[in-house]
């Protein structure tokens, strides 16, 4: 099996699974309970929080554990909207956000919030100047995805954050799901107030994640109850998931080989550019090391994916959250391309486990299938 769909999800580290199993078996107490079983699980959570804080270079108390990227983005976006609606109802984002952000904003629009969706250029980049021009007196939030999950473009987060630092009443949220361990980002230096991380994108388990919440920032919680996670996220903590997330973050940073990913990406791009009729969608500069997106106009992507799957090769069309929907990629349309190109887009996404032989086999079979299938 050659797995090239790592932007959708990654294979968990064996150590992560072992940690989850061990904690589930031995540390099953409720962290809120006032007995030894409760105390020991609470201590595990706090040790995990401290370890993650070390690798993210943030304070442990700024980490709020969630179920993943979708919850993190919703908590950040809706939490700011509901907490600061009396200050203003204007929010700024881009046209190429992940569905979990876009749908959250669309929901808020039904409640009377005004959202500006900033356009991007042909490389999928928004400019800091565009953000500056969109700011109004009633703006309360700017939410930008760091690494686009479909084409891999890297937004100028630091530049945007530097400007927003002067706008003290505007909260800055960053979706860092695709970037963690692959594209460096300092939450403090970029003046980020809220940042979303997902476990299963970094060889952790599905259902695990966190939201960085700058110390002192208030959010309206989505879940009300016992007040766990400093009141941001009620509900009995997923202790095994939290500890396994800490293990996944540690291993991802320790095993990170970004140079290798860039080399594999360049190889794939060079080979794809030699295929007749193929169009590259991922920008060659200012893009992440693990994502390559391309289109084959005239070919149905689902047919190619199924044909490659029979050869033991896994890749995808667009975001896994919307890949079963027939609509054209909103990201490819946003960079100014036509519907045919947006409907025929395919995404290769690698991990630190990917080898050159995997990429070579993918290129070989893609050329073979393209020849046999023909245009639609």
Q: Which region holds residue 7: left if phi is over 0, alpha if psi is between -120 and 50, else beta?
A: alpha
Domain that holds residue 264: 2-9+256-373
- 227 and 106 part of one domain: yes
52 and 169 housed in the same domain = yes
Percent of the chain topping pLDDT 70: 96
Q: Which of 212, 227, 254 is the last residue of a domain?
A: 254
| Confidence at residue 322, expressed as pLDDT on a 0 to 100 scale | 47
Query: Confidence band (pLDDT; 50, 70, 90) for 318?
Result: low
Q: End of a domain among 201, 236, 254?
A: 254
Question: Using 50, 70 and 90 to split pLDDT, how confident is the model at 351?
Answer: very high
* Residue 86 pLDDT grade (very low, low, confident, very high; cuts 50, 70, 90): very high
Asked if residue 106 has pLDDT above 80, the reply is: yes
**How many structural domains is the chain composed of?**
2
Q: Which of 204, 235, 254 is the last residue of a domain?
A: 254
pLDDT over 80 at 263, yes or no: yes
Q: Does the structure show a pLDDT above 70 at 323?
A: no
- Strands 63-66 and 194-198 turn out to be unpaired
Q: What is the mean pLDDT of residues 126-135?
A: 96
In whole numbers, what is the pLDDT of the chain averaged over residues?
A: 93
Same domain? 58 vs 134: yes
Residues 367 and 355 in one domain: yes
- pLDDT given at position 21: 98
The predicted structure's pLDDT at residue 38: 79
Q: Kindly state the average pLDDT of the residues 143-165.
A: 97
pTM: 0.94
Model confidence at 376: pLDDT above 50: no
pLDDT reported for residue 320: 47
Cα(192)–Cα(173) distance, integer angstroms: 6
> 207 and 322: one domain?
no
Answer whether residue 158 shows pLDDT above 90.
Answer: yes
Task: Give the Å distances, CA to CA, from 296 to 143, 204, 211, 345, 370.
Answer: 32, 33, 37, 7, 9
Residue 141: its H or E element? strand 139-145
Summarised one tens digit per residue, pLDDT across range 177-225 is: 999 999 999 999 999 999 999 999 999 999 999 999 999 999 999 999 9
The beta-strand segments (E) located in 223-303 are: 279-280, 291-295
Question: Which pLDDT score, from 0 to 100, does residue 105 have?
Answer: 98
Tell whether 135 and 117 lie within a shared domain.
yes
- Please tell me whether residues 221 and 347 are part of one structural domain: no
Catalytic residues: 321
């Amino acid at each position: 099996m050659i797995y090239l769909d790592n932007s959708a999800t990654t294979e968990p580290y064996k150590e992560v699974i072992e940690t989850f199993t061990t904690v589930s078996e031995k540390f099953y107490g409720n962290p809120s309970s006032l007995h030894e079983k409760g105390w020991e699980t609470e201590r595990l959570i706090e040790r995990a929080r401290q370890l993650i804080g070390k690798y993210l270079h943030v304070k442990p108390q700024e980490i709020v554990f969630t179920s993943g990227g979708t919850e993190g983005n919703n908590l950040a976006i809706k939490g700011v909207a509901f907490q600061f609606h009396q200050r203003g109802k204007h929010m700024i984002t881009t046209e190429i956000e992940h569905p979990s952000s876009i749908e959250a904003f669309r929901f808020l629009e039904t409640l009377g919030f005004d959202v500006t969706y900033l356009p991007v250029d042909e490389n999928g980049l928004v400019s800091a100047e565009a953000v500056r021009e969109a700011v109004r007196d009633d703006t309360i939030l700017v939410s930008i995805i760091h690494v686009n999950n479909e084409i891999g473009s890297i937004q100028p987060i630091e530049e945007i954050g530097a400007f927003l630092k002067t706008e003290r009443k505007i909260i800055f949220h960053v979706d860092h799901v695709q970037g963690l361990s692959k594209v460096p980002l300092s939450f403090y230096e970029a003046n980020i107030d809220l940042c979303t991380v997902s476990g299963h994108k970094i060889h952790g388990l599905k259902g695990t994640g966190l939201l960085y919440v700058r110390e002192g920032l208030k959010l309206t919680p989505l879940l009300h109850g016992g007040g766990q996670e400093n009141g941001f996220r009620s509900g009995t903590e997923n202790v095994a998931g939290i500890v396994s997330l800490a293990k996944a973050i540690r291993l991802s940073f320790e095993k990170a080989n970004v140079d290798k990913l860039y080399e594999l990406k360049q190889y794939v791009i060079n080979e794809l550019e030699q295929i007749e009729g193929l169009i590259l969608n991922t920008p060659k500069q200012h893009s992440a090391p693990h994502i390559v997106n391309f289109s084959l106009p005239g070919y149905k992507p689902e047919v190619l994916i199924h044909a490659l799957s029979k050869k033991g090769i896994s890749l995808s069309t667009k975001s896994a959250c919307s890949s079963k929907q027939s609509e054209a990629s909103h990201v490819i349309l946003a960079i100014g391309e036509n519907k045919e190109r947006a409907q025929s887009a395919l995404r290769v996404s690698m991990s630190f486990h990917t080898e050159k032989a995997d990429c070579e086999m993918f290129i070989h079979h893609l050329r073979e299938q393209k020849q046999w299938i023909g245009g639609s």
